[in-house]
A and B are shown apart, each in its own frame.
Chain A
Amino acid sequence: MKDEITREDRVANLKGMGCSRKRVEDARFTQGQGNYVDDVKLPGMLHADFVRSPYAHARIKSINIDAAMALPGVKAVLTAQDLEPLGLHWMPTLAGDKQMVLADGKVLFQGQEVAFVVAADRYIAADAVELVEVEYEELEVVVDPFKALESDVVLREDLDLSVPGAHGPRKHANHIFTWEMGDQEATEQVLDSAEVVATEEMYYHRTHPCPLETCGSVASMDKVNGKLTLWGTFQAPHVVRTVASLLSGIEEHNIRVIAPDIGGGFGNKVGVYPGYICSIVASIVTGAPVKWIEDRMENLMSTAFARDYWMKGKISATKEGKITGLHCHVTADHGAFDACADPSKFPAGFMNICTGSYDIPVAYLGVDGVYTNKAPGGVSYRCSFRVTEAVYFIERMIEVLAIELDMDPAELRSINFIKKEQFPYQAPLGWEYDSGDYQPAWDKALKAVDYKGLRAEQAERVEAFKRGETRKIMGIGLSFFTEIVGAGPVKNCDILGMGMFDSCEIRIHPTGSAVARLGTISQGQGHATTFAQILATEIGLSADSITIEEGDTDTAPYGLGTYGSRSTPVAGAATAMAGRKIRAKAQMIAAYLLEVHDDDVEFDVDRFVVKGAPERFKTMKDIAYAAYNQAIPGLEPGLEAVSYYDPPNMTYPFGAYVCVMDIDVDTGVPEIRRFYALDDCGTRINPMVIEGQVHGGLTEALAVALGQEIAYDDLGNVKTGTLMDFFLPTAWEVPNYETDYTVTPSPHHPIGAKGVGESPHVGGVPCFSNAVQDAFRPFGNRHTNMPHDHWRIWQTANDLGLHD
């Protein structure tokens, strides 16, 4: 056989790892051909809407559904009373707590689900909601977690204080858990005798992931076949199937869960919401498919929030700036139910990554979870479990310590980085970092922005400001972060008892194309593009010939879903491993076809060649065909493989970010002059997709740092219920990002990849915040809380006397 094209061409044709293959999803999305949950339309489908509580804390004295039921077109109105005989008026949460599906006797947050109205169309359902008469008796509202721990007002009357919670004993009726890591005594000793100690308190405000597509589901119970089909906005469809089966008693093989296209998740779609359960029950009750789609206000008000951490830190160092110890205490406001979406054994997620990128000999972390009259949640908004909080904490503590030491914060970081030769690095709060090479990344970043030049310019600006020549000050925001992603080893990570492995199943078709199915689900990350690239490189078929499918539990292998940047670290690894199984069998087929021993052929891009005789080869297409058309002695026909991958460790992507900001002290308006982001996510599968992920993560970081919040008044009313007040940035507010990279592969991952979707958010939030704070540092600022919206920046300037 003669080969006309060069090896280079063959590599290019493969569109494998390392190339900026265009996203195959985009043709569909940019032409309005996506298929989201709300696009599911079934014959006879009914529409649902919730009656929600206007109060943050109230007893329900009565619910009268008569007027609503009398409205033509209304099919059912469900209340807790209707769900109780099925045992479905409450449901377990991922955090080991339980949550009301529909208000059972009382409501605990504004917007809580009270009744579920099902009607012939969406308009009738909304009209009927107004006709459901609920009589409330208002109770004292507790919105402050510190007051909650002292209050006589018991929020959760269903819990018995003498019975330990899911994470040990509870100290107060409104206390959920205490979680401790590290060595408290040793840490306190170090802090007590340290040369320099910096202390700071910071509030990481409550915010919300706010995906463009809100949450929703369509349930269709086929009573003849006993099958339930559930379409929904699920980041973890298989877990939803298992939960639905355990709760409903319907056997798991009779439940098909489909997560179709998902319009963004960011953690918002990991948990199980009352709407999902109610749509299932309503379909069983009415015998018709039932659709429930949340509106924007409901999404902001009631589906899972993120953050809401009150953090208290103490950091000690030598006079030269070598950090000697770190102490962190968090009061975590979890709202009315503990519905955090964390691996079961981690009630504060991976907050214990809060020693960051620094070699800190001893540390302690204590977290107290608290109930308040706010919506439940506590999801990882574009980050691995609580890692944004951890990184914000340490990156602020570093800045505060730099102030205490009167030292440059860039230099302070350099002094304390974990060194390359220390990896794998055993961190004091329990993690083993897989790989890292921090100093070169930091130096590259500082050089790229001319850090010294920026500091000189800033110093000049301060002088000019003091002379009255300008009203704009300048901030240089720094952040160096280490993420912990890819949950995770089954030995320490599970969700509701399900180990957090992931999976891939590949079928090669006779003509040399393939379909691969995974246990994850893309919400915009571009899995159909990048997983095909991994496979292309592993099995030598063009990425264009490989279909990636996810989200249908009847066809995809079991997996734990997509969040916490786990898809590439876990399912990506499963994909590579399954690909290698394919390749191993292909090698035997090739050897048979070439009439040589298995060991005498080797893989080369898209073929197996006879060692030393490259003109003798079989392409993977030839091999695929042979797998189905020849009887090969000792081999089964076909070419398929499946891999369930349990990662030996998490992966630890890192990055170095710099933000240059100008602030108008009179209006409080910040202007981002420059944002430089260097990411090291190990092996880079698709640089263009990475860049897109970085842009997205940084934009959500900008949002959170500069204005995005879910705010409550003293009565527990949500003050930020629409997108007018909840900040969702557009192209207008977003700067041009400069992206850069270094490559430090993960030593334990089959292809060395680490995951990148969330890093920019994790590293971006402290970078934007530090820029604001750094601008005010020359005028005496130590710390101010986010979000840095206009009035709060103005307030900082005002408090520092800059308006006098």
Chain B
Amino acid sequence: MIPAAFEYYRPASMEGVIALLEEHGDEARVIAGGHSLIPMMKLRMAEVAHLIDLQDIASLSGITIDSDGIRLGAMTTQHDIIGSAALTAAAPIIKEAALQIADPQVRYMGTVGGNVANGDPGNDMPGLMQCLDAQFHLLGPDGERVVAARDFYEAAYMTDREDEEVLVEITFAAPTGGYAYEKQKRKIGDYATAAAAVQMSKVDGKVATASIAMTNLSDTPIWSEETAEALIGTTCDDAAIKSAIAAMLGDIDPTEDNRGPIAFKCHAAGIVLGRAIKRAWSRA
């Protein structure tokens, strides 16, 4: 578990970062908290000849909440997110999810940008951001473009981001209604066996809106429109939840690993989703 040799850069501006990315192409990578990238480098699963550290770029950090919505700088750590009372008031699901990521040591270092840019199906924040319909702002040599979280993920470790682009911020509208992030894991510091992010609102005792995303049950997060539709207009009774689960099972595609066989994962996914819906509904 010794990484191969690499050059280390620590530019002070985004121009510097982009210039280095342009110069070294796919031999270069940015490093944020390093808590996904460094293990990969130590396992020599990622060979990165040029490592560009983002930590000196102040503009990448910070949480802003105003009438335009919520903005998370890419370098905002999971610890910062958990500690932000304003963010928790505006979008409480984020704290609920962040608290279920890894352990405090990892969360001091791990960033929201790294978590969503990484492309690991095990990461919790991609599904969370899909549930919130977040927008990812990517800065590249040709300026900034915005991609919806729901359109960003292509396959495991494959995203819509180009090699020369950096994720600078994540924006989304403050969610309304009830929420829940439910995750089953084997132990602290484990990725999900199954996890569900649910936001839903209630009007006249019925589900008015719903947004549901599942984590680590396919090679990308699964935002499932059918699952949400199975709930909308219902009183969120057992039958509705049952059909939501059935819809979700149609959209996921888990594989067998040490967490268990496919049948178990599907069953666990259904249980986790059912619990998340009930909790979100109770808060709606």
Measuring CB to CB, which residues of chain A are less than 8 angstroms from any residue of chain B?
A: 49, 122-123, 125-127, 130, 295-297, 666-669, 707, 711, 719-720, 724-725, 727, 729-730, 732-733, 789-791, 794-795, 798, 803
Known: A297-B1, A791-B261, A803-B267. 11 other contacts (CB 8 A): A295-B1, A295-B2, A296-B1, A666-B271, A667-B184, A724-B189, A732-B187, A733-B188, A789-B260, A790-B260, A794-B267
Residues of B near A730 (CB, < 8 A) are 103, 187-189
Q: Is B5 engaged at the interface, CB distance under 8 Å to the other chain? A: yes
Docked-complex contact A49 and B259, CB < 8 angstroms: no
Docked-complex contact A719 and B258, CB < 8 angstroms: yes
Number of contact residues on B: which range applies? 20 to 34
Q: How many Å from the CB of A111 to the closest CB on chain B?
A: 13
Q: How far is the CA of A123 from the CA of B258 in the complex (A)?
A: 31
Docked-complex contact B184 and A707, CB < 8 angstroms: no
29 contacts between A and B (CB under 8 A): A123-B2, A125-B2, A126-B4, A127-B4, A295-B1, A296-B1, A297-B1, A297-B43, A666-B268, A667-B271, A667-B272, A668-B268, A711-B258, A719-B258, A720-B258, A724-B189, A727-B186, A729-B187, A730-B103, A730-B188, A732-B187, A732-B188, A790-B186, A790-B193, A790-B268, A791-B260, A794-B260, A794-B268, A803-B267
Q: How far is the CA of A791 from the CA of B2 in the complex (A)?
A: 33
B184 (CB) vs chain A CBs: closest residue: A667
Q: How many Å from the CB of B219 to the closest CB on chain A?
A: 18
Q: Is B15 engaged at the interface, CB distance under 8 Å to the other chain? A: no
A729 (CB) vs chain B CBs: closest residue: B187
Docked-complex contact B188 and A666, CB < 8 angstroms: no
Q: Of A49, A667, A733, A803, which one neighbours B187 at CB under 8 angstroms? A: A733
Docked-complex contact B186 and A126, CB < 8 angstroms: no
Docked-complex contact A794 and B264, CB < 8 angstroms: yes
Residues of A near B151 (CB, < 8 A) are none
Q: How far is the CA of A727 from the CA of B268 in the complex (A)?
A: 20
Residues of B near A123 (CB, < 8 A) are 2, 5
Docked-complex contact B5 and A707, CB < 8 angstroms: no
Task: Tell me which residues from 226 to 277 in chain B have a Cβ below 8 Å from any Cβ of chain A.
Answer: 258-261, 263-264, 267-268, 271-272
Docked-complex contact B187 and A707, CB < 8 angstroms: yes
Residues of A near B27 (CB, < 8 A) are none
Interface of B is mostly: loop
Q: How many Å from the CB of A302 to the closest CB on chain B?
A: 14
Q: Is B154 engaged at the interface, CB distance under 8 Å to the other chain? A: no
Q: Of A669, A719, A724, which one neighbours B184 at CB under 8 angstroms? A: A669
Residues of B near A733 (CB, < 8 A) are 187-188
Measuring CB to CB, which residues of chain B are less than 8 angstroms from any residue of chain A?
A: 1-2, 4-5, 43-44, 103, 184, 186-191, 193, 258-261, 263-264, 267-268, 271-272
Residues of B near A719 (CB, < 8 A) are 258
Q: How many Å from the CB of B185 to the closest CB on chain A?
A: 9
Docked-complex contact B260 and A126, CB < 8 angstroms: no
Q: Decide yes or no: A668 and B188 within 8 Å by CB, A123-B2, A295-B1, A295-B2 being known contacts.
A: no
Q: How many Å from the CB of B224 to the closest CB on chain A?
A: 20
Residues of B near A724 (CB, < 8 A) are 189-191
Q: How far is the CA of A724 from the CA of B192 in the complex (A)?
A: 12
Q: How far is the CA of A48 from the CA of B12 in the complex (A)?
A: 38
Q: How far is the CA of A49 from the CA of B4 in the complex (A)?
A: 14
Which of B43, B44, B191, B268 is most buried by chain A, counting CB atoms within 10 A of its CB? B268
Q: How many Å from the CB of A298 to the closest CB on chain B?
A: 9
Q: How many Å from the CB of A615 to the closest CB on chain B?
A: 61
A727 (CB) vs chain B CBs: closest residue: B187
Q: How far is the CA of A724 from the CA of B189 in the complex (A)?
A: 8
Residues of B near A791 (CB, < 8 A) are 193, 259-261, 264
Q: How many Å from the CB of A127 to the closest CB on chain B?
A: 6
Residues of B near A707 (CB, < 8 A) are 186-187
Q: How many Å from the CB of A791 to the closest CB on chain B?
A: 3
Which of A296, A667, A729, A798 is most buried by chain B, counting CB atoms within 10 A of its CB? A667
Q: How many Å from the CB of A475 to the closest CB on chain B?
A: 19
Docked-complex contact B1 and A790, CB < 8 angstroms: no
Residues of A near B188 (CB, < 8 A) are 730, 732-733
Docked-complex contact B2 and A126, CB < 8 angstroms: yes
Docked-complex contact B271 and A789, CB < 8 angstroms: no
Docked-complex contact B187 and A790, CB < 8 angstroms: no
Q: How far is the CA of A475 from the CA of B193 in the complex (A)?
A: 24
Q: How many Å from the CB of A59 to the closest CB on chain B?
A: 26
Docked-complex contact B187 and A666, CB < 8 angstroms: no
Residues of A near B264 (CB, < 8 A) are 668, 790-791, 794-795
Q: How far is the CA of A473 from the CA of B186 in the complex (A)?
A: 19
Residues of B near A711 (CB, < 8 A) are 258
Q: How far is the CA of A733 from the CA of B103 in the complex (A)?
A: 12
Closest 6 CB pairs of A and B: A791-B260, A126-B2, A732-B188, A295-B1, A791-B264, A666-B271
Q: How far is the CA of A126 from the CA of B184 in the complex (A)?
A: 37
Residues of A near B189 (CB, < 8 A) are 724, 730
Q: How far is the CA of A732 from the CA of B193 in the complex (A)?
A: 18
Q: Of B2, B191, B263, which one neighbours A122 at CB under 8 angstroms? A: B2
Q: How many Å from the CB of B4 to the closest CB on chain A?
A: 6
Q: Of B186, B191, B267, which one neighbours A666 at CB under 8 angstroms? A: B267
A791 (CB) vs chain B CBs: closest residue: B260
A733 (CB) vs chain B CBs: closest residue: B187
B264 (CB) vs chain A CBs: closest residue: A791
B258 (CB) vs chain A CBs: closest residue: A725
Residues of A near B187 (CB, < 8 A) are 707, 727, 729-730, 732-733
Q: How far is the CA of A724 from the CA of B1 in the complex (A)?
A: 14
A707 (CB) vs chain B CBs: closest residue: B186
Q: Decide yes or no: A790 and B184 within 8 Å by CB, A667-B271, A711-B258, A795-B264 being known contacts.
A: yes
Q: How many Å from the CB of B266 to the closest CB on chain A?
A: 11
Residues of A near B5 (CB, < 8 A) are 123, 127
Q: How many Å from the CB of A243 to the closest CB on chain B?
A: 29
Residues of B near A295 (CB, < 8 A) are 1-2
Q: How many Å from the CB of B49 to the closest CB on chain A?
A: 13
Residues of A near B193 (CB, < 8 A) are 790-791
A728 (CB) vs chain B CBs: closest residue: B187
Q: How far is the CA of A719 from the CA of B256 in the complex (A)?
A: 12
Q: How many Å from the CB of B190 to the closest CB on chain A?
A: 7
Q: How far is the CA of A125 from the CA of B5 in the complex (A)?
A: 12
Q: How far is the CA of A789 from the CA of B258 in the complex (A)?
A: 10
Residues of A near B44 (CB, < 8 A) are 130
Q: How far is the CA of A34 from the CA of B166 in the complex (A)?
A: 43
Q: Decide yes or no: A789 and B2 within 8 Å by CB, A719-B258, A794-B264 being known contacts.
A: no
A49 (CB) vs chain B CBs: closest residue: B2
B4 (CB) vs chain A CBs: closest residue: A127
Q: How far is the CA of A803 from the CA of B187 in the complex (A)?
A: 24
Q: How many Å from the CB of B271 to the closest CB on chain A?
A: 5
